[in-house]
Structure 1
Amino acid sequence: MTRPHTTVILAMSADGKIANTQRQAARFGSAQDRAHLEAEVAKVDGVLFGAGTLRAYGTTMRVMNPQLIQQREAGGKPPQPVQIVVSRQAKIDRNLRFFQQPVPRWLLTTSAGANRWQNSSHFESIRVDETATGEIDWPQALAQMPFERLAVLGGGELVASLFAEDLIDELRLTVCPLVLGGRDAPSPVSGVGLPAGKGLELISVEAIAQEVFLHYRVIGTLQD
C-alpha cells in the first residue's frame, strides 16, 4: 500500500530523554530548534502526534513565519498542515487551547474513541482504523491519508508503534545541552522495544551554538 513519507521530528536531552519523569512539556529546545521544527512542519501535509503530547503542551506547532506560509501557498498547499491527534480512547480535554488554534484538526482513533466525539465540531474529520483487537491499524491508517509527507512529533509510544510496522522513513533529532535522567523519563522510541533493531544512515549533522541537529534515514532492521 502507498503511504505518506514519514519523518519523526523530536528534541531530546543529551541522555536521550524527550521529557522528564513527570512527562511535562519538553521546552528545553532553543529558539533555533523551534525555528527548525517550524521549517520542517511547513514542508509537510500532515502532523501526527499522540494525545499525551497534546495534553502536555495544550497546543500544536503551527506555521507562523509569513515566508514559510507563502512558500506553502506557492506550492499549492494550504497555509497550515492538518494536525492529527492519535488516541485509542480519545479522552481529550475539549477546553485545550489546541481547539482554538486556526488549524485543520483530525482525530485518528478506534470506534470506542470515536463515540466520545459524536456530534462534535472539534475535529473536521474523525478517522477510525482499528484491528480486531481494538488497536489502531497503522498500515491501513497511513495508507488512507491523502498526503505525500507526514511529520510525527511524538510521543515515544506513537513512534515505537510506527517503527514496529516499518512506517518511519526519516528521523530529525535535536540533541539539547542538558541531562534529565530517570528510568521512567520517556525516550524518542518507547513501547516494548524493537528486538531486531532499526538501522539508520546518517544524512547530515550540524552543530549550532549548544545544540546538535541530526538527520537520519531509516534503512531497515539490523538483520537485513
Structure 2
Amino acid sequence: MPYPYVLLSAAVSLDGCLDDTGPDRLLLSGPADFDRVDEVRASVDAILVGAGTIRADNPRLLVNAPERRAARRAAGRPEYPLKVTVSGSGELDPDANFWHTGGEKVVYTTDTGAERARSLGLAADVVPLGARLDWRRLLEHLHDVRGVRRLMVEGGGTVHTQLLQEGLADELQLVLAPLFVGDPDAPRLFGPGGYQAGRLRLVETRPIEDVVLMRYEPTAPGAGPLPVAADHHWLALACDLAAACPPSRTAFSVGAVVVAADGTELARGHSREAGDPVVHAEEAALAKIDPADPRLATATVYTSLEPCTHRASRPTPCARLVLDAGVGRVVTAWREPNTFVTGADGSGLLAAAGVDVVVLPEYEERAEAPNRHLL
C-alpha cells in the first residue's frame, strides 16, 4: 500500500537533547529557522506530533505567514495542513492549543483509546487502529482516506524513533544548535533499539544564523516482504535507468540496481547496455559483481520490470540469474505483460524459491513509460 512521504523535523542541542527539564520550552533555533519550518509546514498536507509533545509543548502547529496560507488557498488546498496526533491511551487535554487553532484534526489511537478520546468531545476525527498502534496502518489511512501525500512529523523523540526503526521515514531534517543541555533527564531525539543498518545519505547542509540544517535520507533496503522508505529511492532510480535504454520495438526497456543491506550500491544496469542489443537489466547489473561477494546473500535487486522467466536471446532468464546469485529480496514496479511472453511470472518463480518479492504498484506508470510504444 502507498504511504505518504514522511519527513521528520527536529532541532537538537550538541548533546542530542530536544529540550531541557525547565518549566519553559528551550528555544534551540532562532527566527530564520522558525521561518524555514513555517515554509516546510506550508508545503505539506499534514503535520503529526505525538500526544506527549502536545502535553509538553502545547503547540499550535500553524502556518504563520499570511502569504503562505494565501498561496495554499490559491492552489485549492486548505489554509492549514491537517493536524495529526497519536495516542495509545486516548488521554488528551481537550483545552490544548492543538484542538483550537488551525484546520482539521485527526487522532490515531487504539480501540480502547478511541473510547476515551471520543468521550472528551474533541473537535477531531478519531481513528482506532486496533489493539495496538500500527504505524503502517496509520500511514495507509492518511494516504488513502485523507489524501495525504507529504507528512511532516515534528515530534517527539518516541515518534521519531519508532518511524526510523520501522524504516518509514523518507527524510530527516535535523537542526543542530550550538549549545549543550547537560541534563541526563532531558528528552532526547532518538532512543535505544534496533535501527536499520548503514549510513544515511547527506542531501543538504545549510547554516541558518548560528544553527546548521542537515537533511538526510535513509539508504538501507528492507529485510523482508514489507517495504521501507529507502526502497522507494532505489526503485525510482531503477525506473530512471529504464528511461535511459536505447529504444527497441522487440524488447522492454528495464533498469536494475543491486543494493547491499547497508545501503551500498553494488551495481546498476539497463537493457541493451553498452551496445549489447540483447542484454537485460538484471543480467547487466549482476555481471558487474563478483559472484563470491558475501553481500549478495543479503542484497536487494531493484528492477523496474519483474525479472524474466523465459527468453530467446540467452540460455538463462533473469529470475534464474537472481536465484543463482543467492539474492534473497527483489523489489519491482511492474509485472510483465503478455507482450512477448504469455503468462510470464518472474515474481511467482522467485517467491516459490523463497525470495522476498515486493511489488510497489505506485511506480508502475513510471516503469511503463519507456515501454508505452510496445503496449
Q: TM-score, normalised by structure 2?
A: 0.55
Is the aligned partner of 1:175 residue 2:214? no
CA shift at 1:215, angstroms?
A: 1.1
Query: Residues 15 and 180 of structure 2 are in contact (CA less than 8 Å); yes or no, is this contact kept in structure 1?
Result: yes
Provide the rounded CA distance (Å) in 2 between the counterparts of 1:127 and 1:198: 35
**Change over 3 Å in CA distance of 1:86–1:22 after alignment to 2:** farther
Secondary structure of 2:83's aligned partner: strand
1:140 maps to 2:137: yes
Change in CA separation of 1:179 and 1:31 when aligned onto 2, cut-off 3 Å: same
CA 1:196 to 1:80, structure 2 compared with 1: closer, same or farther past 3 Å? Answer: closer
Tell me whether 1:75 sits opposite 2:75 in the alignment. yes
- Please name the residue that 1:99 is paired with: 99
Task: Work out whether residues 10 and 155 of structure 2, in 8 Å CA contact, stay in contact via their aligned partners in 1.
Answer: yes
Deviations 1:100-120 (A, max 9, x none): 213211111111111112255
Provide, for residues 119-145 of structure 1, a one-character-per-residue CA deviation record: whole Å limited to 9, x for no partner: 554233111113xxx321111110111
Q: What CA deviation, in whole Å up to 9, does each residue of 1:178-201 have, x standing for no partner?
A: 1112333222222x4225445311
Query: In the alignment, what sits opposite 1:187?
Result: 188
Of the structure 1 ranges 74-83 and 193-202, higher mean CA displacement relative to structure 2 is found in: 193-202
Aligned counterparts, 1:1-224, within 5 A: 1-21=1-21, 25-118=25-118, 120-130=120-130, 134-145=131-142, 146-190=147-191, 192-197=192-197, 199-220=199-220, 223-224=262-263
After TM superposition, give the deviation of residue 164 of structure 1 in Å.
2.0
Stretch deviating more after TM superposition (146-155 or 54-63) = 54-63
Counterpart of 2:200 in 1: which secondary structure? strand
Deviations 1:140-193 (A, max 9, x none): 110111210000001111111111221100011111121112333222222x42
Letter in 1 for 2:140: A
Amino acid at match of 1:177: P
Aligned residues between the structures: 220
* Shift in CA distance, 43/198, structure 1 to aligned 2, threshold 3 Å: farther
**Aligned CA distance change for structure 1 residues 92 and 198 (closer, same or farther; 3 Å):** farther
The structure carrying a bigger strand percent of its residues is 1
String of CA shifts for 1:30-58, please: whole Å, max 9, x gaps: 11121111111111111111011111121
Distance 2:33 2:189 in 1: 16
What percentage of aligned pairs have identical amino acids? 28
Which stretches in structure 1 are left out of the alignment for 5+ residues?
A: none
| Contact 2:196/2:220 (<8 A) preserved | no
Alpha-carbon offset, residue 21 of structure 1: 4.2
- SS of the residue 1:188 aligns to: coil
Cα RMSD after superposing both structures: 2.0
Identify which range, 115-124 or 202-211, moves more after superposition: 115-124
Bigger Rg, which one: 2
The runs of 5 or more residues in structure 2 that have no matched partner are: 222-260, 264-375
**Structure 1 pair 197/135, CA: closer, same or farther in 2 (3 Å)?**
farther
Residue 96 to residue 196, structure 1, CA distance change in 2 (3 Å): closer
CA separation in 2, counterparts of 1:118 and 1:209? Answer: 44
The separation in 1 between residues aligned to 2:176 and 2:23, in whole angstroms, is: 18
Structure with the higher fraction of residues in helix conformation: 2
CA contact (8 A) 2:161 2:190 kept: yes
* Secondary structure class of the residue paired with 1:6: strand
Distance 2:44 2:206 in 1: 22
Once the two structures are TM-superposed, the CA of residue 59 in structure 1 deviates from its matched residue by 2.4
By relative contact order (CA 8 Å, sep 6+), the higher-ranking structure is: 1
The alpha-carbon distance between structure 1 residues 105 and 210, as it changes in their structure 2 partners (threshold 3 A), is: same
Q: Determine if contact 1:105/1:122 at 8 Å carries over to the other structure.
A: no
SS, match of residue 117 in structure 2: coil
Would the alpha carbon gap of residues 23 and 86 (structure 1) be closer, same or farther in structure 2, given more than 3 Å must change? farther
Contact 2:87 2:113 in 1 (8 A): yes
2:118 & 2:61 partners in 1: Cα distance? 26
